[in-house]
Structure 1
Amino acid sequence: MKKLIFTLILPFTFCQAFSQSRQENFQLILKDDWKMQSAVTDAAPADKISKENYDTQSWYKVSVPTTIIAGLLANKIYDFDPFMGRNLMKLKDAKLDKPWWFRREFTLPAAENGKNVILRLHGINYKANVWLNGIKIADSTRIKGPFRIIQLDVTNHINYTGNNVLALEVVRPFTPNKSRGDLAIDYADWIPYPPDYNGGIVNNIELKTYDKVGVQYPLVTTKFDLPSLAVAHLTVDAQVTNYTNTAQDAVIKGHINNDVAFEQKVHLMPKESKNITFTSEAFKQLNIQNPRIWWPWQYGKPELNRVDLSAEVDGKVGNTLWEKFGIKQMDSKLLNNESRVFMVNGKQIMIRGAAWSPDIFQRRSPERQEQEVKLVRDMNMNIIRSEGKMEDDNFYDLCDKYGMLVMTGWMCCGVWQHPEHWDAAERKVAMASDSSVMYWLRNKASLLVWLNGSDMPPTDTSVERDYLKIEKALKWPNPVIATANEGKSKVSGYSGVKMAGPYEWVPPIYWESDSTHKFGGTWSFATEISPGPSIPPYESLIKFIPKDSLSTSSAAWLYHCGTGSFGTTKVFDKALTERYGASATIKNYIAKAQAQNYEAHRAMMEAYGLKKYDTATGVVQWMLSNPWPGIIWHTYDYYLYPAGTYFGMKKSMEPLHVMYSYKTKEVGIINSYAKKFTGLQVKATVYNIDGSIKYTKTAPAAVDADASKMFFAIPAVTGLSPTYFVRLQLTDNAGNVQSINWYWLSQKAEVLNWKKSTWFTTPESAYTDYTALQQIPKTALKLSHIQGSAGSDSTTHEVTITNTGKSVAFFVHLRALKGKEGDDILPVIFSDNYISLAPGETRIIKCTYSNKDAMNNTPYFLTSAWNLDTEKSTGDGDQSGFEDGLPVD
């Protein structure tokens, strides 16, 4: 009998059937028609369960990948929404701590008879006994770890001519306890654990056939003669495996873009796997003239190329595959021991993005993934960080396609962070996981950097050394750093990045005021940083907080905050009350919260843009999205609603942006384009609360490519109201408006108490005063819109808003509803939102949405502002209306 081949392979996460890598010979992804049941409920012996004709009528029908809880939810066995209030606690069940069966029947096509059959498990959380046709083919000492792909040769156990039964007895991860437990999918202080701890099958299970020899894991790496990009020197690698018990001579053939051809012979001993390499020195055709280069989306086109590979033995094809790749070169360097700058194709890149999180139950939707990547691009971000929560192939394919950089690596806070406590078995899982991830992600165009640790370097230096050996051996082509924090690894030196906070509310002036470089100010590369809570709009809150619990102190509200130090919104709420005044109702609170979210997040990103390549090289907002409906750390909420935080972010990262420094009171420009601008004009206008103009200045301006520059300071102005406005406008040399940016300011300064700073916030000893914003004189708006373009998939409208009154229209919010009484169309892309308008000012906002998300409804545009006179405002008949923006009831 043949021995099982047990090989680590590309790692976990939901691979889709039509990912970038395509196996041209037989491949069966076992996605649908699975049955799932608790081993407590069905206690039959494994050899019976894994044979044909076993009765599974009482089992749950599921699709894989799925966790246990996700499978139960898909079968609607609960009569409540687990996201509403504290319902998640009701999911607890003693059976979740016991094994669960996942069973699937399948047949093979007759054409595969006699071929080597390989079963690939792409991610089991956490361990499993695997049975095929009544025989245990692997036990739970081997099959464990969600970030591994394990390959089993099942040729001797397969039924080529009839039905086959595959059954996995899965055991969920051991309950995490800080530094001890299983090396599973871990969380920290930003989400409660689901009661099954994501136990289940968290990636595809598939069967592949090979005729004696197979090739897999293609890697195409690029070297340029920088700074020239005229020639790309390519190296092609792949893993070749002999699946037979006899030595084989094979020919590995390849093509680049069906144009450049290359081939090489390889001798393989029985069951041997080895790497094969095609260098540009040995294969001159791999020196590509005028290559199609992959760029991050803001710097050029994310061009993708294609590599085809095949393995042949005696002229017979063992298998073929193809995969897309990017011709690109990722590098990094330390500007000093404090700041790491990343380069793509020799060009330094100012990294600005946010941290991704998958669904709490590990559910994946290709459609939602694309929606979210589009939202990230709409905010003008260029990177997504995934901290130890590996996504699926479709996610990385989308990032490749849309030119979105990715930062990923091992996770913080739990077992992964404490290798000093690992035993030999856990260390084996860790190294196998690292090997798998390298094989899996190394050819993805979008991958910028890999982190071998998050909150600290691996505490066992031998672990980091072993990681680095694996990464070198498997030719990881991108930068590797030891940690996401500012620590110095004993193995690899300074990281050049930091995670010194804050994670809690801080005022806008904070970001430019950290002169000591001890805290979260504008220095180094901040891999995770945030001004804390992001309060969702009312329309989202009522989807997960019962209306009778809509209070910042209710148990339901607190349950949807974070955990530990982040289990309340008290710091944010105190600042909101001190700065904007007491809130009479929850709707009043929410409206003010959008303004506080907007100004804080805008200031953070503006400060990093202002100081780019000076003291700062990158910034990652913690976080991008919530894995379940939450009240802290997101740019858009779980329901994809873009609110104050989102539009503050989007405004701050405009490619050509005019800004105001809270610290120096100067007006400047941040240019994110790769070209210089001359002939610009910067205009600043100061308005009192009653709408009267108190100061104005216009100045000529020019700014270098990918640079920032300050031009003039706004002087002390006499006769200002306690709260006042600054309107900035930037026009190009043709007179076209490139940027409009409004600030609301106070004559009372914020005072930070740096001596009482913690790792997550710096408290204030005095707050600014914006309470006068609640008494802005009312003004009327005029609303009109036209349908700009309607395609088969999406529609764009242009909405014109005019302030017809005499005072500033503050924080004008535009919504697109599914008809007059309908819910918001989500997701939706607005060119701008939460805008302010000077007396007589007109702005045009573009609104784009997918037709299916509008559910064939004509959109109804609903507009609010803090000081809106709803009776005097006018709109387009039955297609637009107005509501109070700062409601008191």
Structure 2
Amino acid sequence: MGKQALHHVTISVEVKEHGESDQWTHLFGFRKIESHIDNATDGRLFKINGQPIFIRGGNWILSDGLLRLSAKRYRTDIKFHADMNFNMIRCWGGGLAERPEFYHYCDMYGLLVWQEFWITGDVDGRGDPVSNPDGPLDHDLFMLCARDTVKLLRNHASLALWVGGNEQVPPKDINEALKNDLQLHPYFETPSETDKSPEEPSTASPKDPSLYLDGTRLYVQGSMWDGFANGKGDFTDGPYEIQYPESFFRDDFYKYGFNPEVGSVGMPVAATIRATMPPEGWRIPLFKKLPDGYTEEAPNPIWTYHKYIPYSKPSKVHDQIELYGTPKDLDDFCLKAQLVNYIQYRALLEGWTSRMWSKYTGVLIWKNQNPWTGLRGQFYDHLLDQTAGFFGCRCAAEPIHVQLNLATYSIENPKPVYFLLLKLYNMSDYGILSRNFYWLGNYKLLEPYRKKNVPLKITSKAFIKGSTYEIEMHVQNTSKKPDTRSSTYMNNFVRRDMEIDFDMEGDDSDLRVATINGTDAGVAFFLHFSVHEMKTDTKEGEDTRILPVHYSDNYFSLVPGEVMPVKISFEVPRGVTPRVTLSGWNYHSSHTVH
């Protein structure tokens, strides 16, 4: 949503002849949020300060399964979402209302919040089997908590709407109470919304804003009602499994205007598996060939317990990891999974973008993160390390974006593997507005491409302030001298750097240049930075990563002559010396900068 204009208000109370008695300070912002059901798509459309916003975001479970809630983790979580160029987080009804710090950082980083009340078949007795169809047990206590939550959160500019429940509506008395308490002030009403919501209370509303419990945000009774999914409460969200990338672009993939939940795979990197599971959990799935030619993945029991979603869907989707060749071990499996993660989520968001406003008004991915060490849809794991899907989303959701429609492109000879680089330029100065890199065709041919020895030049400059590091990296593929007359190589420094949250001092003496010799010309494919603790005596499976880390980009590829700038920021524990490691598909020496 861009940089947020926020202001501080301070209110103090003074007692005559005794001075100040109390003081209260709050960060706030001015905005107007409007929402109505769009006539063209039948999906819910949001406007911020009069401007329509195409929603690209995801579902939030809760910060931590053991409720270890901290401002520091909240800041990392929310900044990760901003780094992905998301603009909405849905606080799912099976979770909770997070602490105020969560909403504070959403205010800071410009994330709209869909706040759901605690109504879902997953937790309140209306699941399978049904134990309490009128749940929750104590309706008065529920409404006491709901009203208290509204008062706690209503001053946050990021809060966009209230929703009664997940995939169902609250019991009638609770639903009517919420509708009454969360009536919109006339200034925030949308005529088209009033026309489409006959169940709204018909009594005249008072004009005095102080008489409203909120008054500035819409209340929708359930996550699949009133402009979400088919708008009638039927189970028309999803799917939640691996898809062919081109499927997201096809007209019959999803036929409703706003999908509140669509999900897929989420395998983390191998280091996370080793850090969170015993050695018997390091076994990769068995690949069982079925008579119809499809593959069925059989994961080990620990992965099954951690809700692993396979990269195949027998009889529907061929195994997407096998496209790169049968994996040999955990490292090989997780690396190939990252290739799939990147393509899967970039395609998902680009598929929705390709029909922006003509068919869709928004999409929320199930899910962004995990409150535990789960192995299904996620963009960063519970240890706060990003998957490649994180950067696939970041690419696809950038505000100005160039993309390829994977359902309509044609290749005459499907056997080779192709690399396609798209760049969108500003003609006045050839500044790059958007850069998008694809790999297409026969992925198995990427396996011999691993033997390519492509030379790189890495320039780094570190800024250190206490325990905080900010490192600026420039990585160049030097396998071909760039032709400065070609727009492919003009202004290689992509204009989508992360904002720096602190000021640091440094000079040219901090500049380091490293060259990696190579004899082959070609693409430096799927390069990946990571940050580790500098140690000489490590045990097998020991996790040396420093987490969390914020990257301006990662899992990127460079054509000959091209340069990529990457900003890396992180904090280190006391007494720890960090090292930044670069590795890649056809680059295995794990170059280290320290």
TM-score by length of 1: 0.51
In 1, distance between residues paired with 2:144 and 2:341? 42
Change beyond 3 A, Cα 1:448–1:791: same
Q: Paired residue for 2:165? A: 453
In 2, distance between residues paired with 1:488 and 1:615? 13
Verify: 1:526 aligned to 2:234, yes or no: no
Offset from partner CA, 1:275-314 (integer Å, 9 cap, x none): xxxxxxxxxxxxxxxxxxxxxx42x533234263759899
The answer as to whether partners of 1:537 and 1:590 remain within 8 angstroms in 2 is: yes
Change beyond 3 A, Cα 1:496–1:312: farther
Unaligned runs of 5+ in 1: 1-296, 666-714, 747-768, 881-889
In 2, distance between residues paired with 1:329 and 1:450? 15
Change beyond 3 A, Cα 1:488–1:449: closer
In 2, distance between residues paired with 1:327 and 1:655? 22
Amino acid across the alignment from 2:416? P
TM superposition shift of 1:463 = 3.0
In 2, distance between residues paired with 1:301 and 1:423? 40
In 2, distance between residues paired with 1:820 and 1:514? 53
TM superposition shift of 1:449 = 0.8
In 2, distance between residues paired with 1:583 and 1:855? 38
Q: Paired residue for 1:862? A: 581
In 1, distance between residues paired with 2:236 and 2:275? 33
Q: Which has the higher contact order (CA 8 A, sep 6+)?
A: 2
The answer as to whether partners of 2:11 and 2:25 remain within 8 angstroms in 1 is: yes
Change beyond 3 A, Cα 1:444–1:819: same
Change beyond 3 A, Cα 1:512–1:790: same
The answer as to whether partners of 2:311 and 2:320 remain within 8 angstroms in 1 is: no
Q: Paired residue for 1:556? A: 302
The answer as to whether partners of 1:561 and 1:569 remain within 8 angstroms in 2 is: no
The answer as to whether partners of 2:220 and 2:226 remain within 8 angstroms in 1 is: no
The answer as to whether partners of 1:727 and 1:742 remain within 8 angstroms in 2 is: yes
Q: Paired residue for 1:248? A: none
User: SS at 2:138's partner residue?
Assistant: helix
User: SS at 1:658's partner residue?
Assistant: coil
The answer as to whether partners of 1:355 and 1:384 remain within 8 angstroms in 2 is: yes
User: SS at 2:529's partner residue?
Assistant: strand
TM superposition shift of 1:738 = 2.9
User: SS at 2:572's partner residue?
Assistant: helix
Change beyond 3 A, Cα 1:394–1:614: same
The answer as to whether partners of 2:346 and 2:393 remain within 8 angstroms in 1 is: yes
Q: Paired residue for 1:778? A: 452
What is the correspondence of 1:599-610 to structure 2 with a 5 Å cutoff?
A: 599-610=343-354
Q: Paired residue for 1:398? A: 105
In 1, distance between residues paired with 2:524 and 2:584? 7
Task: Flag the structure with higher strand content.
Answer: 1
Amino acid across the alignment from 1:786? S
Amino acid across the alignment from 2:213? L
In 2, distance between residues paired with 1:340 and 1:654? 22
State which of 809, 826, 831 in structure 1 corresponds to 2:547: 826
User: SS at 1:659's partner residue?
Assistant: coil
User: SS at 2:367's partner residue?
Assistant: coil
In 2, distance between residues paired with 1:855 and 1:316? 46
User: SS at 2:66's partner residue?
Assistant: coil
Q: Paired residue for 1:120? A: none
Offset from partner CA, 1:662-694 (integer Å, 9 cap, x none): 0122xxxxxxxxxxxxxxxxxxxxxxxxxxxxx
In 2, distance between residues paired with 1:578 and 1:879? 33
Verify: 1:371 aligned to 2:76, yes or no: yes
In 2, distance between residues paired with 1:632 and 1:772? 28
In 2, distance between residues paired with 1:420 and 1:476? 32
User: SS at 1:455's partner residue?
Assistant: coil
Q: Paired residue for 1:849? A: 569
Q: Paired residue for 1:339? A: 43
Verify: 1:330 aligned to 2:33, yes or no: yes
In 1, distance between residues paired with 2:112 and 2:464? 31
Change beyond 3 A, Cα 1:541–1:480: same
Q: Paired residue for 2:470? A: 795
What is the correspondence of 1:92-107 to structure 2 with a 5 Å cutoff?
A: none
What is the correspondence of 1:346-385 to structure 2 with a 5 Å cutoff?
A: 346-356=50-60, 357-385=62-90
Verify: 1:835 aligned to 2:556, yes or no: yes
What is the correspondence of 1:290-305 to structure 2 with a 5 Å cutoff?
A: 297-298=1-2, 300-305=3-8
TM superposition shift of 1:643 = 2.2
TM superposition shift of 1:455 = 0.7
TM superposition shift of 1:635 = 0.6
The answer as to whether partners of 2:260 and 2:363 remain within 8 angstroms in 1 is: yes
User: SS at 2:401's partner residue?
Assistant: strand
Change beyond 3 A, Cα 1:498–1:335: farther
Change beyond 3 A, Cα 1:842–1:488: closer
The answer as to whether partners of 1:417 and 1:454 remain within 8 angstroms in 2 is: no
In 1, distance between residues paired with 2:180 and 2:571? 50
What is the correspondence of 1:234-249 to structure 2 with a 5 Å cutoff?
A: none
TM superposition shift of 1:599 = 0.2
Amino acid across the alignment from 1:852? V
What is the correspondence of 1:233-312 to structure 2 with a 5 Å cutoff?
A: 297-298=1-2, 300-306=3-9, 308=11
User: SS at 2:528's partner residue?
Assistant: strand
Change beyond 3 A, Cα 1:586–1:819: same
User: SS at 1:616's partner residue?
Assistant: coil
Q: Paired residue for 1:100? A: none
Q: How many residues align?
A: 491
In 2, distance between residues paired with 1:423 and 1:599? 41
TM superposition shift of 1:321 = 3.8
TM superposition shift of 1:486 = 4.7
Q: Paired residue for 1:654? A: 398
Q: Paired residue for 1:480? A: 219
What is the correspondence of 1:673-692 to structure 2 with a 5 Å cutoff?
A: none
The answer as to whether partners of 1:499 and 1:529 remain within 8 angstroms in 2 is: no
In 1, distance between residues paired with 2:120 and 2:110? 27
Q: Paired residue for 1:254? A: none
Amino acid across the alignment from 1:596? V
In 1, distance between residues paired with 2:165 and 2:214? 19
In 2, distance between residues paired with 1:819 and 1:801? 25
TM superposition shift of 1:660 = 0.5
Verify: 1:812 aligned to 2:527, yes or no: yes
Unaligned runs of 5+ in 2: 184-211, 286-298, 480-519, 539-543
The answer as to whether partners of 1:818 and 1:854 remain within 8 angstroms in 2 is: no
The answer as to whether partners of 1:781 and 1:803 remain within 8 angstroms in 2 is: yes
The structure that has the greater radius of gyration is 1
Over the aligned positions, Cα root-mean-square deviation in angstroms equals 3.3
Offset from partner CA, 1:92-129 (integer Å, 9 cap, x none): xxxxxxxxxxxxxxxxxxxxxxxxxxxxxxxxxxxxxx
In 2, distance between residues paired with 1:497 and 1:303? 40
TM superposition shift of 1:402 = 2.5
TM-score by length of 2: 0.75
TM superposition shift of 1:343 = 1.1
Q: Paired residue for 2:436? A: 741
The answer as to whether partners of 1:312 and 1:319 remain within 8 angstroms in 2 is: no
Offset from partner CA, 1:783-829 (integer Å, 9 cap, x none): 42221544443322223232522233322222233337582332222
In 1, distance between residues paired with 2:366 and 2:63? 14
What is the correspondence of 1:430-449 to structure 2 with a 5 Å cutoff?
A: 430-449=142-161
TM superposition shift of 1:727 = 1.7
TM superposition shift of 1:627 = 0.5
What is the correspondence of 1:216-227 to structure 2 with a 5 Å cutoff?
A: none
Offset from partner CA, 1:33-68 (integer Å, 9 cap, x none): xxxxxxxxxxxxxxxxxxxxxxxxxxxxxxxxxxxx
TM superposition shift of 1:598 = 0.5
In 1, distance between residues paired with 2:553 and 2:475? 12
The answer as to whether partners of 1:535 and 1:631 remain within 8 angstroms in 2 is: yes
Q: Paired residue for 1:542? A: 274
In 2, distance between residues paired with 1:813 and 1:488? 40
The answer as to whether partners of 2:114 and 2:160 remain within 8 angstroms in 1 is: yes
